[in-house]
Amino acid sequence: MVYHNYEHWKTTPNTGEPFLSIVIPAYNEEIRIIPTIGAIASHVSDLGFPWELIIADDGSKDSTVKITQELGFVNMRVLIAEKNGGKGSAVRRGMLAARGKYVLFADADNSTPIEEVTKLIAKLDTEGFDVAVGSRAAEGASEGKKSLMRHILSGGLRTIVRYGLRIKVRDTQCGFKMYTREAARKLHTAQTIDGFSFDLEVLYLAFKLGYKVAEVPVSWIDAPGSKVNARKEVQRFVKDIFRILSNDLKGVYTQRLAADAHSDSVHVPA
Partner 1 sequence: MDMNVSMVNGTNVITLNGRFDAFEAPPLIKWFEDNVTKEQADVVVDLGGVNFLDSAALASLVKGMKRCRERGGDLVICNLQQAVRIIFELTGLHKAFVIAETREAALSA
- Contact with partner 1 (CB under 8 A): which of 6, 19, 129, 204? 6
For β-strands 131-135 and 176-180, DSSP reports them as: antiparallel
Which residues between 200 and 239 bind partner 1 (CB under 8 A)? 221, 223-225
Task: Using CB under 8 A, pick the residue from 71, 122, 160, 230 that binds partner 1.
Answer: 71
Q: Does 39 participate in binding partner 1 (rule CB under 8 A)?
A: yes
Helices marked H in 77-116: 87-97
> Measured from the CB atom, is 224 or 251 closer to partner 1?
224
**Does residue 43 interact with partner 1 by CB under 8 A?**
yes
CB of residue 217 vs partner 1: minimum separation in angstroms?
18
What is d(CA 249, CA 243) in angstroms, rounded to the nearest whole number? Answer: 10
- Identify the residue among 18, 22, 25, 32 touching partner 1 (CB under 8 A): 32
Give the burial class of 145: count Cβ atoms within 10 A of its Cβ; 0-12 exposed, 13-18 middle, 19 or more buried. exposed
d(CA 268, CA 93): 7
- Angle (CA) 99-75-109 rounded to 5° is 90
Q: How many residues bind partner 1 (CB under 8 A)?
A: 26
- The footprint of partner 1 on residues 121-160 (CB under 8 A) is 144-145
d(CA 93, CA 91): 6
> Residues interacting with partner 1, by CB under 8 A?
1-3, 6, 31-32, 34-35, 37-39, 41-43, 46, 71, 109-110, 113, 115, 144-145, 221, 223-225
